[in-house]
Structure 1
Amino acid sequence: MPEDEKTPAREIITDYAQAHFRYFRTADGTVYAQRNGHPVARPIRSQGTTGSHRQELMVGLFRDGQGVFNGTALKEALDLIEALALTEDVQPVHIRVAPGFDGATWLDLGRADGQSVRIHPNGWDIATPDPREVCWRRTQLTGELPPPVKDTDGKGIDLLMRLCNFANAETECLAIAWLIGCLGPSVPVPAPFLTGPQGAGKSTGGRMLVRIIEGMTGDLRRAPKDEENLITAVAAGWVTALDNLSHMTPELSDAMCCIVTGAENVKRALFTDGDVFRVGYRRPLLLTGIDVGVIRPDLAERLLPLRLERPKVRRTEDELWTEYAEVLPVVLGSLLDLTVKVRAAEAETPTDLRMADFAHLCAQLDAATGLGALAAYRASLDDLNDDVIEGDLLAQTVLRHAADLEPGAQQRMTSTEWLHCLSQLYTGQDFRALPKGWPTTGKVLSDRLKRLQPTLAARGVFIDSGRTREGRYIEMTHSPVTPPHAQQAF
């Protein structure tokens, strides 16, 4: 055949690709390729070690007898495919957990055949999702889960609790509530903080919880040095577990708050001057450590302390993890059974807690099982408030001042006047030096009090601010409240 009658290589590649793959774009403009009938999608520009679309296209062309093509032809074909895909409808991709049709949710088992778990109002089943319903995105962190066992009669939950060293039943039910929350793609869940004495198995317990969702390859990581590295780690998986935290910088604390409740980051696209791309994320977090020092109030509202105790009988790592791998299918099956039961339960949503979705899930768990998860959650938040107050001298000084006010009394001053008043109260008659980090201006004091508002309100001290003709003011009201641990569950 004359050279001018040969079909150009880029056209052969393009025709083959469009016949064997479906191409679409996400809201941020990234184009994905999805083999016909298969739920796993890959970015067409990915060069990742988990297998790129360019690689699977080259292999498909070779195995189907189309030939071997050079890089230029592949680039030209993919450029055209990407341009065409940008005119298609937008569809999201998901890691591990995804919403489906008719109120169902999906759990990716990480299998090569794409089989997943569909959790629906009447139960759960193992099936391959329709690519139009769910598109899975896989990364190097996506481990494979074993097929869950049906009709476990709750045995898996008991097996899991026996392997973990949770200190009491309240901690156990909070861990169960968190695992159920991790199976919901739209429910923000607080970050469990596994704590306890040295040798309590905090890292092992953290791995056990994470591997129920992420498979046996799921593991704990060291805390990243900055926010950008943390976001990169979070974006590559569903549950991010940070091990052995001993200190938490304000920047890392703020980043964790954003990850738990959801945020978006905008960065400049590489090799461009003005283009940007968006990174949206909301993921379950898990932390372990003996003590992280002073906890900031906004992070305290997003934490879920889980206390462990030292085991009475020690076991080898090999023995422990061999048993865990054997019971994991039963544990996962029991968790799915309980998730269906909890989602069907009706319960009122507590309106006084920051993480209202998780509080409602705890109330549903109580309605389905009677475990008392909501009361345990309230008590855990009360303990965290105590930790915040014990680590913040300003909060302690405000509470000392409020204790001298009559119940229901209000006191209004400017921020500068409040700074002078609280500084005098702290230094006392012996004129001791103000501590490091004490507010130096009225503006700094005002900002610190805003951050402490939820913590102080839990102790009956309400901080408000406003403006009159004379200027801005801060108002303190002392209204004794029922301690959170004494409140009854909804």
Structure 2
Amino acid sequence: MAEDDKTPAREIITDYAQQHFRYFRTADGTVYAQRNGHPVARPIRSQGTTGSHRQELMVGLFKDGIGVFNGTALKEALDLIEALALTEDVQSVHIRVAPGFDGATWLDLGRTDGRSVRIHPTGWDIAIPDPREVCWRRTQLTGELPLPAKDTDGKGIDALLRLTNFANAETECLALAWLVGCLGPSVPVPAPFLTGPQGAGKSTAGRMLLRIIEGMSGDLRRAPKDEENLTAAVAAGWVTALDNLSHMTPDLSDAMCCIVTGAENVKRALFTDGDVHRARYRRPLLLTGIDVGVIRPDLAERLLPLRLERPRVRRTEAELWAEYEQMLPVILGSLLDLTVKVRAAEADIPTDLRMADFAHLCAQLDAATGFGSLAAYRASLDDLNDDVIEGDLLAQTVLKQAAGMAPGEETRMTSSEWLYALTGLYSGEECRPLPKGWPTTGKVLSDRLKRLQPTLAARGVLIDWGRTRTARYIAMTRTPEQPAHQQDTLH
């Protein structure tokens, strides 16, 4: 055959690729490759050392006797495939948890055979999802889960609670509510913060909760130093677990708020001048630590305190984890059974809580099991409000100011007038020096009050903003009725 009659290598590769793979794009324009009949999709531009589409294409061409091709031919073929895929329909890719057809939810077991768990309104089963229904994205953080056991009769839940050291039944039911929430792709869940005395097994309990969802390879991590590294870690997995937090900077606190309720990160695409890369993320978080100091009000609304106590009988790590690994299929099966029951339960949606979806899930859990998780969740938020107030001298001063007002009374002043009044109230007759971080202008005071608004409202003090013809004002109102324990905190 003459040299000119040979089929170009790029065409051979392109024809083979289109016969054995399906190519599609996501909403952000990333092109993925999915082997026919298999639910796992890989970005075609991935340069990972293992598991990249380029590698699986090279291996397929070699094993099927097509040949071995140089990098130039592969690059030209992938360039053409990428251009063709940009005209295809948009489809989403998911990590670990995904919505399916007919109200079902899928859980990726991380297995090479693609078998996953389908949670549907009447139960759950193990199957390989239709590639048009679910496309899984795998990363180095995607661990393998065992096949869950059927007909566990709740034994897995009992085993999990026996292996952990939760302080009381209220904490246990909140931990179960969080686990059920992690299996929902569209339900924002607050971040559990495992606290307790030294030696209470916070890290061990955190690993156990994490590994139910992420497999035995999942582990706790130190908090990244900056938001960019935290976002990268979050985007590569489903549950992100941070261990031994002792301090939380304002930037880290804001980043955690965005992760829990969802946000988008935009940065310049590599090797381009004008293109950008968009990353949307909303992930479950898990935190452990003894104390993180002052908690900001917006993060407090997104936390779920889970207190542990020191165990009466100590066990070796090897013995503990051997039992846990043996029981993991039963634990996962029991969690799936509980999830089906919870989703089938009917309950009213609490409208007074920030994390209304999680509050509704707690109400469903109570309806399905008789637990008191919603009341426990309200109590935990109340405790967090106390923590916010105890760590914020401005909040304490506002409550002291409101204590001198009659129930139902409203006071309006400009932000500068409020700053003068609150500063004088704090300093008192002895002219105490102002603490570090005290507002220095009316604008700063107004911004601080906006952050404290939900916390103060929970203590019966309403803050609102308005405008007259001549100036803007801040209105402070003491609600007509306050619980006795709230009034005690004011004096």
Q: Match for residue 276 of structure 1?
A: 276
Q: Aligned partners of 2:46, 2:174: CA distance in 1, in Å?
A: 39
8 Å CA contact retained: 2:416, 2:442: yes
Residue 364 of structure 2 aligns to a residue whose secondary structure is: helix
Residue 118 of structure 1 aligns to a residue whose secondary structure is: strand
- 1:365-380 to 2 correspondences below 5 Å: 365-380=365-380
Q: Match for residue 489 of structure 2?
A: none
8 Å CA contact retained: 2:108, 2:136: yes
Q: Aligned partners of 1:325, 1:363: CA distance in 2, in Å?
A: 31
Structure 2 unaligned residues grouped into runs of 5+: 487-491
8 Å CA contact retained: 1:246, 1:290: yes
Q: What is the letter of the counterpart of residue 301 of structure 2?
A: E
- 1:209-228 to 2 correspondences below 5 Å: 209-228=209-228
Q: Does 1:355 align with 2:359?
A: no
8 Å CA contact retained: 1:302, 1:355: yes
- 1:236-385 to 2 correspondences below 5 Å: 236-385=236-385
8 Å CA contact retained: 2:155, 2:330: yes
Q: Match for residue 197 of structure 1?
A: 197
Change in Cα spacing, 1:50 to 1:179, as seen in structure 2 (3 Å) is farther
Q: Match for residue 413 of structure 2?
A: 413
TM-score, normalised by the number of residues in structure 1 = 0.98
Residue 65 of structure 1 aligns to a residue whose secondary structure is: coil
Q: Aligned partners of 1:61, 1:266: CA distance in 2, in Å?
A: 37
1:72-104 residue CA offsets vs partner (Å, 9 max, x unmatched)? 000000000000000000000000000000000
Residue 102 of structure 1 aligns to a residue whose secondary structure is: helix
Q: Match for residue 72 of structure 2?
A: 72
Q: Does 1:96 align with 2:114?
A: no
Structure 1 unaligned residues grouped into runs of 5+: none
Q: Aligned partners of 2:12, 2:283: CA distance in 1, in Å?
A: 41
Shift of 1:70: 0.3
Displaced runs of 4 or more, over 6 A: none
Q: Aligned partners of 1:484, 1:97: CA distance in 2, in Å?
A: 44
Shift of 1:470: 1.9
Q: Aligned partners of 2:230, 2:288: CA distance in 1, in Å?
A: 16
Residue 107 of structure 2 aligns to a residue whose secondary structure is: strand
Q: Aligned partners of 2:112, 2:294: CA distance in 1, in Å?
A: 45
Q: Aligned partners of 1:469, 1:91: CA distance in 2, in Å?
A: 52
- 1:140-155 to 2 correspondences below 5 Å: 140-155=140-155
Q: What is the letter of the counterpart of residue 8 of structure 1?
A: P
Q: Match for residue 133 of structure 2?
A: 133
8 Å CA contact retained: 2:105, 2:119: yes
Q: What is the letter of the counterpart of residue 339 of structure 1?
A: T
Q: Match for residue 432 of structure 1?
A: 432
8 Å CA contact retained: 1:415, 1:473: yes
Shift of 1:49: 3.4
1:168-217 residue CA offsets vs partner (Å, 9 max, x unmatched)? 00000000000000000000000000000001000000000000000000
1:410-429 residue CA offsets vs partner (Å, 9 max, x unmatched)? 10000000001000010111
1:231-258 residue CA offsets vs partner (Å, 9 max, x unmatched)? 0000000000000000000000000000
Residue 103 of structure 2 aligns to a residue whose secondary structure is: coil
8 Å CA contact retained: 1:50, 1:139: no
8 Å CA contact retained: 2:187, 2:357: yes
Q: Does 1:180 align with 2:174?
A: no
Q: Aligned partners of 2:178, 2:47: CA distance in 1, in Å?
A: 34
Residue 158 of structure 1 aligns to a residue whose secondary structure is: helix
Residue 304 of structure 2 aligns to a residue whose secondary structure is: strand
Shift of 1:161: 0.2
Q: Match for residue 62 of structure 2?
A: 62
8 Å CA contact retained: 2:245, 2:290: yes
8 Å CA contact retained: 1:141, 1:236: yes
Shift of 1:368: 0.3
Q: Aligned partners of 2:184, 2:477: CA distance in 1, in Å?
A: 39
Q: What is the letter of the counterpart of residue 301 of structure 1?
A: E
1:366-420 residue CA offsets vs partner (Å, 9 max, x unmatched)? 0000100000000000000000000000000000110010000010000000001
Residue 186 of structure 1 aligns to a residue whose secondary structure is: coil
Q: Match for residue 232 of structure 1?
A: 232
8 Å CA contact retained: 1:97, 1:183: yes
Q: Aligned partners of 1:404, 1:57: CA distance in 2, in Å?
A: 75
Residue 385 of structure 1 aligns to a residue whose secondary structure is: helix
Change in Cα spacing, 1:71 to 1:324, as seen in structure 2 (3 Å) is same
Q: Aligned partners of 1:286, 1:365: CA distance in 2, in Å?
A: 20
8 Å CA contact retained: 2:407, 2:481: no
Change in Cα spacing, 1:408 to 1:289, as seen in structure 2 (3 Å) is same
8 Å CA contact retained: 1:300, 1:381: yes
8 Å CA contact retained: 1:157, 1:334: yes
Q: Aligned partners of 1:485, 1:230: CA distance in 2, in Å?
A: 39
Q: Match for residue 39 of structure 1?
A: 39
Residue 102 of structure 2 aligns to a residue whose secondary structure is: coil
1:123-171 residue CA offsets vs partner (Å, 9 max, x unmatched)? 0000000000000000000000000001111111010000000000000
Q: Match for residue 23 of structure 2?
A: 23
Aligned residues: 486
Residue 462 of structure 2 aligns to a residue whose secondary structure is: strand
Shift of 1:50: 3.8
- 1:1-12 to 2 correspondences below 5 Å: 1-12=1-12
Q: Aligned partners of 2:193, 2:315: CA distance in 1, in Å?
A: 24
8 Å CA contact retained: 1:412, 1:473: yes
Residue 420 of structure 2 aligns to a residue whose secondary structure is: helix
1:107-133 residue CA offsets vs partner (Å, 9 max, x unmatched)? 000000000000000000000000000
Q: Aligned partners of 2:261, 2:481: CA distance in 1, in Å?
A: 28
Q: Aligned partners of 2:483, 2:268: CA distance in 1, in Å?
A: 48
Q: Aligned partners of 1:371, 1:48: CA distance in 2, in Å?
A: 46
Residue 24 of structure 1 aligns to a residue whose secondary structure is: strand
8 Å CA contact retained: 1:389, 1:396: yes
Q: Aligned partners of 1:471, 1:58: CA distance in 2, in Å?
A: 70
8 Å CA contact retained: 1:382, 1:484: no
8 Å CA contact retained: 1:458, 1:483: no
Residue 306 of structure 1 aligns to a residue whose secondary structure is: strand
Shift of 1:261: 0.2
8 Å CA contact retained: 1:459, 1:480: no
